[in-house]
Amino acid sequence: MKKTKVRDNLKRKLFYLCGICAVGVGSMYANEEYPTDEVNTTGLAVTDDTVTVGQLHSISGTMAISETGSVEAERLAIKQINELGGVLGRQIVVVQEDGASDWPTFAEKAKKLIVDDKVACVFGCWTSASRKAVLPIFESENNMLYYPTFYEGLEASKNVVYTGQEATQQIIWGLDWAYDNLGARTFYLVGSDYIWPRTSNKIARNHIERYLKKKDPSCKVVGEDYYPLGHTNFRSLINKIRLKKPDLIYSIVVGGSNVAWYKQLKAAGITSDKYNLLTISTTEDELLGIGGENAEGFYTCMKYFQSLGNENNIEFVESFKDEWGEDSVIGDVTQAAYLGPWLWKAAVEKAGSFDIDKIHEAHGGIEFPDAPEGYVRIHDENQHLWSRAKMGKILKNGQIEVVAVSEELIEPNPFPEGYQ
């Protein structure tokens, strides 16, 4: 009974997506309506019955703790789409590659998927470093990447759909919330040492020193430090933080390093009853490894939490656990990864074609009212999503309680004036 309800609601979602009514079309009928030589004019791996896509995440190495959920969410969406008839009557076939938490490997595998396997699109990457490594390949070979992670912005490629949030939808909104609600005036910036944390903290410092300082001259950054991916000894950093006593620790520690980071903070007595910590990199996925008791009471700024109580999210969580096990959890990037296949399907059906240039033209204005995070829409010009920012408080059980939501959808602005 419960599964029937989920299935019925998924059918309803398809009608919402662009109003396309291709649901349940059998392959024979679809082939007559969408002949392969008409829907695939550029040599992609599309047959009368199937369309092949790529999946490129780290399923090994330090980033596997964060990217496994993306792999699972994309597989769930693809399974559901196939059960409902596929895309233009074709079943989706997946070629999966492992980026192995190594940026040159990401580039190598992206080229293999696009040039050798001729995939129709790729769902993949997590870090900005991996995205930057594959971007020239997607642009030169003209393929499409659906990228699920919150990131620093300052980019808008016609070959990428950004289903996570950019800086103005996370960093700036979150710092303003901390200023108003936590009394944050002094900030200690911490990050893993690569492009996303460094660029994000550059934007954060800019906002603190140029904009928050106008509200209160006492606003300032009292420390800023970076550590390599996979780093596990934060004791010297923690000593510096104790000396500086910031109002807010602003954390962009990534991947497996989070486990040591939070455990050592707690062991040193830096807990939420004495310090405020706001992260933009820790979700339910990482908390599964960290242990909620080691981060309890700290804050995280995302656009999705598993605890959201809307009907669409309840169905999504139920389907995810049915597929991947009752103990599995869903973080912000996992949910954004789930959106990728659905948005690609909508673009293909709106375009009536798998050709990359045609689905690029079709992306603008595509809506997903029943997304687990709530209504989202692809921006008409920059292929980012309109979405709402949310502030959550980490609970002992590893779940996150929503404490604030932006009043309006925030327009994606990957090149905000004054922050470049």
Alpha-carbon torsion angle 369, 371, 374, 375, nearest 10: -30
Where is average pLDDT lowest: 252-261, 306-315, 317-326?
252-261
* Structure tokens, 69: 């959920």
User: What integer pLDDT is reported at residue 400 of this predicted model?
Assistant: 97
Q: Measured between alpha carbons, how far is 39 from 36 in angstroms, rounded to an integer? A: 5
Is 161 buried (19+), middle (13-18) or exposed (0-12) by CB count in 10 A? buried
**Percent residues over pLDDT 70 in the chain:** 93
Q: Measured between alpha carbons, how far is 211 from 208 in angstroms, rounded to an integer? A: 6
| Average pLDDT of the residues in 36-62 | 96
User: What integer pLDDT is reported at residue 50 of this predicted model?
Assistant: 98
Tell me if 256 sits within 8 A of 289, measured CB to CB: yes
Q: Measured between alpha carbons, how far is 171 from 399 in angstroms, rounded to an integer? A: 21
Question: Do the bridges between strand 400-405 and strand 50-57 make them parallel or antiparallel, or are there none, so unpaired?
Answer: unpaired
Residue 233 confidence (pLDDT) above 90: yes
User: What integer pLDDT is reported at residue 273 of this predicted model?
Assistant: 97
DSSP conformational letter for 364: T
The fold of the 1-165+308-387 domain, in CATH, is Rossmann fold (3.40.50)
Residue 31 confidence (pLDDT) above 80: no
pLDDT band at 408 (very low <50, low <70, confident <90, very high): very high
pLDDT band at 4 (very low <50, low <70, confident <90, very high): very low
Q: Which conformational region is residue 352 in: left (phi greater than 0), alpha (psi within -120 to 50 degrees), or beta?
A: left
**For 70-102, how does the pLDDT look when each residue is reduced to its tens digit (9 = 90+)?**
999 999 999 999 999 999 999 999 999 999 999
Q: Measured between alpha carbons, how far is 379 from 382 in angstroms, rounded to an integer? A: 6
Closest alpha carbon to 86 in 355, 372, 349 = 349
Residue given tokens 């009853």 in the structure block: 273
C-beta pairs of 270-276 under 8 Å, 24+ apart in sequence: 270/238, 270/241, 270/242, 271/296, 271/297, 272/296, 272/297, 272/298, 273/297, 275/241, 275/246, 275/249, 276/178, 276/182, 276/184, 276/247, 276/248, 276/249
| Average pLDDT of the residues in 331-350 | 97
Is 316 buried (19+), middle (13-18) or exposed (0-12) by CB count in 10 A? buried
Tell me if 134 sits within 8 A of 57, measured CB to CB: no
User: What integer pLDDT is reported at residue 16 of this predicted model?
Assistant: 43
Tell me if 361 sits within 8 A of 351, measured CB to CB: yes
User: What integer pLDDT is reported at residue 22 of this predicted model?
Assistant: 37
The fold of the 167-302+392-405 domain, in CATH, is Rossmann fold (3.40.50)
Domains 1-165+308-387 and 167-302+392-405 share a fold: yes
User: What integer pLDDT is reported at residue 125 of this predicted model?
Assistant: 97
User: What integer pLDDT is reported at residue 20 of this predicted model?
Assistant: 41
Residue 137 confidence (pLDDT) above 50: yes
Q: Measured between alpha carbons, how far is 306 from 334 in angstroms, rounded to an integer? A: 10
**For 156-178, how does the pLDDT look when each residue is reduced to its tens digit (9 = 90+)?**
999 999 999 998 899 999 999 99
User: What integer pLDDT is reported at residue 417 of this predicted model?
Assistant: 84
Domain edges within the chain: 1-165+308-387, 167-302+392-405
Residue 18 vs residue 125, higher pLDDT? 125
* Most confident residue range from 88-92, 151-155, 413-417: 88-92
User: What integer pLDDT is reported at residue 73 of this predicted model?
Assistant: 98
User: What integer pLDDT is reported at residue 6 of this predicted model?
Assistant: 40
For 372, phi and psi rounded to 5 degrees?
-55, -35
